[in-house]
Amino acid sequence: MQALSSEQLDYLVARRHELHQSPEVSGEEAQTAKRIAAELTALGADRLWQGLGGHGVAAEFASQEDGPTVLLRCELDGLPLREISDLPYKSAIPGKGHLCGHDGHMVSMLGVAMRLATRPQKGRVILLFQPAEETGAGALAVVDDPRWPEIRPEFAFAYHNVPGRPLGEVGLREGPSNCASRGMQIVLEGKSSHAAAPEDGVSPGPAMAALMASLPELSCGTIWDEAFSLATLTHASLGEPTFGIAPADGELRVTLRSMTNERMEAVMQEALHRVEKHAQGLSVDILWHDVFRAVVNDAEATGIARTAARSLGLRCFEMPTPMRWSEDFGRFGDDGAKAALLYLGAGEHHPQLHNPDYDFPDALIPVAVDMFCRIVQDLLGFEAQ
């Protein structure tokens, strides 16, 4: 398995810059998927699945000998955020940007595909370019796709870049690694009235005021313990922007977060109890959005990644706590794969994820390619050149 040439790395950087210029948000990744499918076809994938769980693309690189299936996953989607930068390849799509680094994750996997021109000695590698990670819907849609049994892996790996850590450092953690989270939308409906006679209506205002004080109280503990939970109010609206109408309608949105899926169930039930308590006399509708299961890294898969990183001479960081932010990669572990999400440092002074001036560091591409190729090599071996 040969290292990528300087020409290949230059090609990958150029492709990343093209992807960066044309981000597509969750559920709208059709053109990105088309580009990726063309690249994988040109790189000689043995089999291609398209339209997987939406716009997902998966490519197979297989041996003639039986062995495990190793899935390497990246993400297709950008964010509905405006990019603020002077980059020559900045987003050309108003209000949308690759401000989480998924453009870099994609070309990292294209780099792995280049190296897989030498097929594994046994088993197969599946490169998955997953849709809709940012909303938490994509991984579940992929696993629910009727073609998923053709792909289902024994091992699954992915990475996310992490600003604030040294460039190329490999963050590792067994067990809970990214928090579970979900958005709770609370829609309240009462009865409007003239502002001069509010007693003739039913305003959601008092219930909203009570819930805005009560729901944040669900926050508990710190990320260091499994009892950790966090409730963050993200939106509130009441009535119309007038002075003559006592309102009938109100809405609150809150993000619930926990270290484990079990803890999330308890937090959800308590949140529902508080809504029921404070919203008596109102019509109430609860909607759930952006549902992320916790990422729980398998010990064996994490150990495989640790061995690979050390054999490459990469600096390893054993993470003492999970990440507060969520990632839908946990769905693949839930489905039975021995799964591990890795955290590659993007630079100690790099702009943070989802910042308007964020840009994936191109210097991380060869690190990620080497890391995942070594994992594949250790699990499946490679035919002699």
Residue 1: predicted pLDDT: 52
Q: 180-292, what's its fold?
A: Alpha-Beta Plaits (3.30.70)
Closest among 305, 333, 335 to 159, alpha carbons compared:
305
pLDDT by position in tens, the chain (length 385): 568 999 999 999 999 999 999 999 999 999 999 999 999 999 999 999 999 999 999 999 999 999 999 999 999 999 999 999 999 999 999 999 999 999 999 999 999 999 999 999 999 999 999 999 999 999 999 999 999 999 999 999 999 999 999 999 999 999 999 999 999 999 999 999 999 999 999 999 999 999 999 999 999 999 888 899 999 999 999 999 999 999 999 999 999 999 999 999 999 999 999 999 999 999 999 999 999 999 999 999 999 999 999 999 999 999 999 999 999 999 999 999 999 999 999 999 999 999 999 999 999 999 999 999 999 999 999 754 3
Q: What is the pLDDT of residue 223?
A: 87
Residue 20 is predicted with a pLDDT of: 98
Tokens for 163?
A: 């600003």
What pLDDT was estimated at residue 384?
A: 41
Q: Supply the pLDDT for residue 2.
A: 63
Cα distances from 382 to residues 59, 107, 116, 150, in angstroms, run 18, 22, 9, 23
The arrangement of secondary structure in 6-178+294-380, i.e. its CATH architecture, is 3-Layer(aba) Sandwich (3.40)
- Ranges of CATH 3.30.70.360 domains, the chain: 180-292
Residue 243, both tokens: 């002075």
pLDDT, residue 192, reads 98
Q: DSSP strand E in 163-218: where?
A: 170-172, 175-178, 180-189, 193-194
Residue ranges of the chain that CATH labels 3.40.630.10: 6-178+294-380
Residue 299: what pLDDT? Answer: 98
Query: What single string gives the DSSP state of each residue in 156-172?
Result: EEEEEEETTS-TT-EEE
CA-CA distance, 32 to 27, in Å (whole number)?
A: 11
pLDDT at 383: 55
Sheet with 316-318, strands from edge to edge, namely: 47-52, 56-62, 124-130, 69-75, 155-162, 338-345, 170-172, 316-318
